[in-house]
């Protein structure tokens, strides 16, 4: 069960809380935090019906061992705190804010429950990079319109500026720290290539929402993003065939029906 944390409790706790899924962005952030002299608590929400949940949890367990073993790791990284979606506190104001924002800038349902979670863990980090539509749409694609907070020479992050976003957006995101919002995927790769072991770990992260026999499906949105970001080498040939098939036929009348059938019966 989640225990409600007050802002004062969080302020007095030097632990850095990080939403982690075993994906590229949040793992990159965990690698950055691993080199600080701080305690880091990764947090994962187990959502019912999420096809990739077991793969994500298995991936995080393996990655955590590898990150702890890196020569440059100085942080104390706790075991992943796994929270059940059912235990998250209902919050009407947050749900209404999500619905309002979602009408203007469609976003995944995970943002609604993660926002509710942030009220129990104010200051929790979320790995949103430049180019992710929800934040970009709200801020006019201008990182300078966010609040840059520097706590010390080791640790800084961005916050939503209440002066430049609407009330619903502020309710939605005010408790999140956005530490990598100024770091593109290309910049992450550039940084990681200078660190021992980082690229190997990032290439072992998980991204697919609908695993096919334990491998990326090639047709879900994260798989498409991986290919379009120039990281298609992370998909095997079967997944790439599905990717090319979808790109060829996705605008036809029958493809959505085919995809729905495949997801229901083949689960990818």
Residues in the chain: 268
- Kindly list the distances between the CA atom of residue 136 and the CA atoms of 107, 140, 226, in Å, as whole numbers in the listed order: 12, 6, 20
Q: Among 156-160, 246-250, 261-265, where is mean pLDDT lowest?
A: 261-265
Strand 147-150 to 156-159 pairing: antiparallel
- Percent of the chain whose pLDDT exceeds 70: 90
pTM (two decimals) = 0.88
Residue 50's CB: how many other CB atoms inside 10 A? 16
User: In the chain, where are the structural domains located?
Assistant: 7-185, 207-266
Task: Say if domain 7-185 classifies as CATH 3.90.25.
Answer: no
Does residue 268 surpass a pLDDT of 60? yes
Q: What is the pLDDT of residues 208-244, one digit of tens each?
A: 999 988 899 999 989 998 999 899 999 999 999 999 9
Q: What is the pLDDT of residue 70?
A: 98
Confidence of residue 144 (pLDDT cuts 50, 70, 90): low
Confidence of residue 2 (pLDDT cuts 50, 70, 90): very low
Largest distance between two CA atoms of the chain? 56
Q: What is the pLDDT of residue 252?
A: 95
Closest CA to 201 of 36, 16, 26: 26
Query: What are the backbone dihedrals phi and psi of residue 39, each rounded to the nearest 5 degrees, phi first?
Result: -95, 135
Average of pLDDT values for 67-94? 96
User: Which of left, alpha, beta for 129 (phi over 0: left; psi -120 to 50: alpha)?
Assistant: beta
Average of pLDDT values for 118-128? 94
């Amino acid at each position: 069960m989640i225990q409600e944390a007050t802002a004062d409790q969080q302020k007095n706790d030097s632990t850095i809380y990080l939403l982690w899924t075993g994906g590229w962005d949040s793992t990159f952030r965990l690698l950055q935090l691993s080199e600080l002299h701080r305690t880091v608590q990764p947090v994962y929400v187990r959502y019912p019906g999420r096809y990739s949940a077991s793969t994500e949890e298995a991936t995080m367990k393996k990655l955590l061992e590898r990150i702890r073993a890196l020569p440059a790791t100085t942080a104390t990284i706790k075991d992943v705190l796994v929270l059940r979606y059912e235990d998250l506190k209902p919050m009407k104001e947050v749900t209404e804010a999500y619905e309002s924002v979602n009408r203007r800038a469609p976003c995944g349902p995970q943002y609604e429950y993660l926002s509710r979670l942030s009220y129990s863990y104010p200051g929790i980090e979320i790995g949103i990079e430049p180019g992710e539509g929800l934040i970009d749409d709200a801020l006019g694609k201008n990182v300078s319109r966010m609040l840059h907070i520097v706590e010390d020479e080791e640790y800084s992050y961005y916050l939503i500026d209440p002066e430049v976003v609407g009330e619903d957006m502020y309710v939605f995101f005010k408790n999140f720290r956005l530490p990598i919002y100024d770091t593109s995927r290309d910049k992450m790769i550039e940084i990681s290539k200078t660190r021992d072991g980082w690229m190997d770990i990032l290439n072992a992260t998980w991204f697919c929402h609908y695993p096919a026999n334990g491998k990326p499906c090639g047709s879900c949105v994260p798989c498409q993003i991986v290919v379009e970001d120039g990281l298609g080498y992370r998909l095997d040939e079967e997944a790439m065939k599905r990717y090319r098939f979808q790109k060829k036929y996705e605008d036809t009348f029958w493809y959505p029906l085919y995809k729905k059938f495949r997801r229901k019966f083949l689960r990818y």
